[in-house]
Structure 1
Amino acid sequence: MASKSDQLLIVVSILEGRQFPKSQRHNLVVQAKFDGEQLATDPVIHTEQPQFCTELAWELDRRTLHQHRLQRTPIKLQCYAVDTTTSAKECVGYIILDLRSVQEIKQAPKWFPLLSSKYTKLKPALLLTMALENDTKQTELTPEHFKAKKAPPRHGSPVLSSLLPEKLVAVLKEDEGYHQIGLQDHCTDFFVLSVTVAFATKLEQLIPSTMNLAREGSDFFFYYALLGNDITSEPFQNLMSPSFEPERASVRIRSSDPVLRAFLSQQPSLQVHLCCGNHSLGSTEVSLAGLAKSSVDLQKQVATVEGAFILQPPNRAKQSLPVLPLELQPTVGVSVILRRERMPHLLYLLLLKRATTPPHLKESPIFRPPHPLSSPFPTPAQRVRLTACRKKLLHWLSLTQLVGAFSVSAPKIAIPSSSHHYCFSMDLRSIRHLNLGFTVSCMLRYAYQFFGSAAPIMTNPPVDVKRNMEVFLPQSYCAFDFATLPHQLQDTFFRVPLVVEVWHKDPSTRDIFLGTASIQLSNLLTAEKSRFLGPEGEQHWRQTFSERIPVLKAHGTNEKVAELSYVTTLEDLGLVKVQEIVVSESSKVQCSLCGAPPEPRETLEYRAALELEMWKEMQEDLFDDQLKKKELDHMQALAEEWKKRDREREALVKKKVFEYSVLEQQLQKTLADLEKRERQLAHAEMEMQRLQRELRAEHEFSMRELQESSRRLREDCAHQVELERSRVRQLEEERGRQQQQVGKYKVLEKEYQQFREQQSIRPEIRLQSEINLLSLEKVELERKLESTTKSKLHYKQQWGRALKELARFKQREQESAMTRLKKQQQELESMRLRYLAAEEKEAVKSEKHELEDLRNELNRLKQQEDKRPWAGDSSGPAVSPNESADDHLSRLLEERDTLLRTGVYTHEDRIISELNRQIQDAMASAINQVV
């Protein structure tokens, strides 16, 4: 038989809850605390029946478990309601689990009600189970390894499970432009899965000290694979402040809602790598399980997984690297969005049939699955090819238009002749009068598609805003150049306001949306116009407007949370000069010349010569400018490269200094821990010796008490035996007296016979009457004698059974007293006193009963003797027992029982012994008086 494992896991499974109130702005979190270690579940939606489905585990050995059970160490579960807006936590109740009830056998889950619950009317409860499991791991775990492990995912409905295969795959339909997941007949809905790499910070922490960046190349990029397609971001060079355009990669999926959720739950996490050449400097994993949540309705909502994810260097487990603080961790901002495609399916097929693929893109890897790469990341050449193809595709898509036909032949877009060139600029100056209870890391964001760009404009970096202070926003100026008709500009500005969103950027969690400020651009059109001259002396107009507007709280309320100050400017730069016109290949441009004779300076030859001379001078100037520009570019490139290398070296030095300082702190902490542990061991050894001495003294004291108790018990038993013997002797004496009475009856019977013989000489009639009378008396006396004999026999039998029962009772009480003596020594004296008092009371009751029986029997015999005809006529009625003697005996018995019930006196005390002696004397005197 195999021995049990010494390493155990205490596993607490938190399955679900019931009778909780529904709250849309709160999440529920359960925190469990045991032996100084605290674990928590993932936040779940605050519904009536929240689904936690989480297991929390603690590792310990059997000896530690035994100590915790002796000390009755509890496991405390606290349920918190977390505000999704302010992240404030509020305890709504707790549960205490008894560690002594945990077993290695798996038990059925039980409902535990929340104690001190905030929701008193509903009485919420959690479905929990607790079990012991053998820990098969051989490695020693540190406290940071104690993490909650999640429960296995639940299976879907039986009908859906029967339709789904064990492994779902995404099949590329290259001709139709989507991936098919599931059966084609049942899965007809279209979805769009998008991945965006938005930003990155602290990337210099990932540069290895042994890596030569000049040899590998100075370009950095992000790489990930989306449904088998290799995706790379635009390359960038500066790791200190990485600057790259956020790119979104999207794939179309044809499937159904449950099948797509099952497919995403089977998929591994999305791995995003920071690459330099063919090397990965760090990677992170983005779980796609959040997109498969059943609580998100894809018909109305968008499933999103986004945040700042920490990049881990490769082989982190094999390296003994120090743990950086959170603010110095390298992060990458990733957003994964799953939404249902809004474009109707028939319209998409119509566009797909009418669209024609450009000739230069037919062999592009963007339209077919990429070939497998020799290395896990694309080479620089492949990366350039992918980027170029992406740009060509975007350019080709910009030329395609929908009005009932999908045309790709038109090379340019026509601009109306009456269009004006406008320049709109906005400067978000400051924000003040914050009305929130915490410091806000403020970031502003807005977008206005009328200006020609749907990309959001954001202020960066975020600034900290506190209550009762005004903060100026950095990098908040933005200008837009666009062309439109004046009436379209006025109609749009009066109809569509510019909405500025205010966000709180939290590095640890997702960003919090605080509110919006609505800017009415129509105020700019009513502002006063000012005139200014352009670079060529042309006349332009400018309008400027500034004000402070309130920032209203989100979710449709009118509560004011802050004030925003802004300045807007609109410049009218006149009519658009360059106009692109769509013409066909057969069309020709015809010029009509004036019929008037040209002047000499206006002839074509003169103009050609003049243009040639001007072209020569311009070419010379351009050549000089190019030389100067190239020289300046080379010098600037050298300076930038030098600054870059200097910054990289400085970052590496800072990183090494920080690592050395962290290692030094860890070493000092380890030394301090060792010294503290030595002191604790010495103190524990002294404490153990003291406990041993105390236990030894306590054991000796307990042995002495046990011996003393045993001696007292033996003396009590001997005293009880002596009492029983005295009672037996008294009964024997009583039996002798009864036998004497029987002898007296026999003598009387003989006298009666003699009397009959004497009467036989009398006359016959008198003798006959006397004979009849005496026969009747004889029969009566025989009946009384038989009754007396039977009563005596019955009394003897009852007395024998009483003695046997008393002996058995005494034996059971003695065994029970010995058992209780071994288990609970402190209760021995009180138990013994109660036992003796009960026994003495029983004996007194039996003695009273016996005495009453004897008294009744003797009175009956006395009356029988008084009724006999041969008794003397002078003898009067029987004298009743002495009432004063009975009262004296009852008083003595009551006094003795009262003293014993107090618990102060025992049977060994002198006063109790004296009372027992007086009771015996009183009983003997009463019996003698009766006899």
Structure 2
Amino acid sequence: RLQRTPIKLQCFALDPVSSAKENIGYIVLDLRAVQEKKQAPKWYPLLSNKYTKFKSEIQVGVVLETDSKALVDGFKAKEAPPREGKASTFLSGLDPKSIVPVLNEEEGYHQIGPAEYCRDYFVLSVTIAFATQLEQLVPTTMKLPERQPEFFFYYSLLGNDVTNEPFTDLINPNFEPERASVRIRSTADVLQVYLCAQSKLQIHLCCGDQSLGSTEIPLSGLLKKGNVEIDHHPLAIEGAFVLIPPNRAKQKLPQLPLDMAPTIGVSVILQRESLSAQPLIPLNAPTEPKEPQEKVLSPISGKREVVQQRSQNVPSQADHSSSTEDEATESEVESLKFEKGMKVKKKADNGPVAASQPNPVGASSSSEPVSAQKIVIPAASHHFCFSIDLRSIRGVEVGFPINCILRYSYPFFGSAAPIMTSPPVEVRKNMEVFLPQSYCAFDFATIPHQLQDTFFRLPLLVELWHKDKTAKDLLLGLARLQLSNVLASEKTRFLGGNGEQCWRQTCNETVSVTAAQGSGNRIAELSYAITLEDYGLVKMQEVLVSDSSQCVGAGQQRHDHHTQSRCAPENHPEPRETLEYKAALELEMWKEMQEDIFENQLKKKEMAHMQALAEEWKKRDREREALVKKKVAEYTVLEEQLQKTLRDLDKRERQLFSAESEIQRVKKELQAEHERNLQELQDSVRRAREECAHQVELERSKIKQLEEDKLRLQQQLYEAENKHKILEKEFQQYKEQQSSKPE
């Protein structure tokens, strides 16, 4: 109740023949008014009623019950679990590929593992909660069906094909979160082995028989080996997963940024069936036959469980729309739903708030004084309901803890009395505190132009007071609430109590609280929500206001037929007192009233048609804007890729230029070295040739000298031989001479 979370209860019409489900309307229940004691049920009118001609209502009783643990239903013998030795031996020889879930149709569960060992019951559930940016999955070249295409999510859970309710809008996908559950009979260890073998759960976004994108959710981390947490509380894998288009590599699709990537919110929960089967109400509480809240997904019928969650587009005014009889709740103004038989009650912490402005919707008073003052309402006035909810205050920087109350007054709403939060709450530094009894609503009638002009000119001043029991209250700061911001917010349509079309605008903001004394520095931040509801033209033209400034509707006015006495003879009545004049006057008044009703009906039809055209134009504009955003994102990614390619090309060009310069330098060096080597080689060859030629000359001169020496020696030899011959000849002669001489 502190978080002010409402309950949105939707009503459907179910066709028993075709099982078609049709949304009729919804109601919003406020949890803050719920008490622990049983109260009488109330009738609530359906909002967004499909059958506008009928004032459909639903009777609902809400009570707050204390949760208590269920008592044990007596002693009951259970089957003895298998011995640990056998179980460990069985697990050690278990092949993960051989574990296959087997359907038991009679008892409605899947058996995973041998039945003699696996006897515990579990519930595995998958919930698809939300989806965003799904239009990014539709390529520009893909042709969707000519008729309104239907999209849905598909996945397989233990061999069961599961699809959710189809939806038609990819930009703002509106589908009910659905939970698909299956019962499993197994053990924690065998289930852990099976989940590790079944690596991932694939979820596809489909259009017809074509998959636009898919994501994979790993199941191996759901149940870890030796983990005993599943015996105490459910195990869950929750988060937002990115949908990837099929064949991204083949299509060469660019990678989208994370904030524009198509995502899907999925929750996978595994728990023991004993945990999920615990009752949420005490056993001594009166019980009534109710439909089971959870629908287990049967493998045969394929039923799904629709989980009602808080709608994101519920206006903040719906948090306070339900009336309550509790006087201790926060200050409020009950919305006037009917033209007759209701009183306006404005309750604040310091007492009732007076309203000097006339109430446009009929309200009656049990006793009306004769001297009551009449206020004529202009024909162009609208019935407005303005609500203010001062939610929380945080970031207080005053140097000491304060007992905080907020106080404001806005006479334009018809009340000059100040509105204050109560009781005071203690606020310290670096903490955020939600303010109690901080909601108040005002019903008034005025011209729309005057409302806009006042909201733009006069901001709402909210005073921050420190309430001290021992000293005088201290004004700490002021916050300026610019009420004109609510006029710029988007309008949403809803139906009033009489089936008329009404409009609602809501604005949630945070403003700074500036110091009341000193330099005007920020001392705190105030979060608030304001809502403006336009119930259309006022049906009454005058109301009566008593001395206590209580708003009294003209529809329940009791016209005083006591006329002033006049001195006129009875035989000659006044012309205005004749029956003919009264009948003619009533006829003219009836004609004027019918003309006003007809004009109002035409204006309402015109407004309805204009609003329908505006909604259709806004829808198509949003589609065009989403398409343009998608194109811009694609072009941005392509531009980034092109810029990266250009940078790479520039870098490569610089590298090539540097390499070419290096090559040219090396070439020049090699050329110079080659020329130098060639010159050195030529010089070496020349020197070698010269040396060779010189050596040849030397050798030739040596040969010539040798030949000359040879000739000389040959000549000497010849001369020596001749001389030898002569000497030998002479010796022979001498010898002959000696031999011829006698001894």
Larger radius of gyration: 1
**Which fold has the larger relative contact order, with Cα–Cα distance below 8 Å and residues 6 or more apart in sequence?**
2
- TM-score (ref. length: structure 2): 0.38
* Higher-helix-fraction structure: 1
TM-score, structure 1 normalization = 0.31
